[in-house]
Amino acid sequence: MNGDPGQLIAMLCIVEGMPDSFGKRQRESGKAKKAAAREERRLARAQRDADREAGLIEAGTPIEASEPAALGLENEPEPRPKPDTSDTADKS
**Host H or E run for residue 10:** helix 5-12
Q: What is the full DSSP assignment across 31-66?
A: HHHHHHHHHHHHHHHHHHHHHHHHTSS-SS--PPP-
- Looking at residue 69, its pLDDT comes to 67
* CA distance linking residue 85 with residue 62, whole number of Å: 48
CA distance 81 to 38: 50
**How many other C-beta atoms can be found within 10 angstroms of the C-beta atom of residue 48?**
13
Mean pLDDT of the chain, nearest integer: 75
> Residue ranges of the domains in the chain?
24-55
pTM given for the model? 0.42
- CB atoms near residue 44 (< 10 Å): 10
Given this model, what pLDDT does residue 57 score?
A: 85
pLDDT of residue 8 exceeding 80, the answer is: no
Instruction: Report the Cα 32 to chain-centroid distance in Å.
Output: 16
Predicted confidence (pLDDT) per residue in 51-88, tens digit? 999 988 887 776 666 666 666 666 666 677 777 766 55
* 24 pLDDT more than 90: no
| pLDDT value of residue 44 | 95
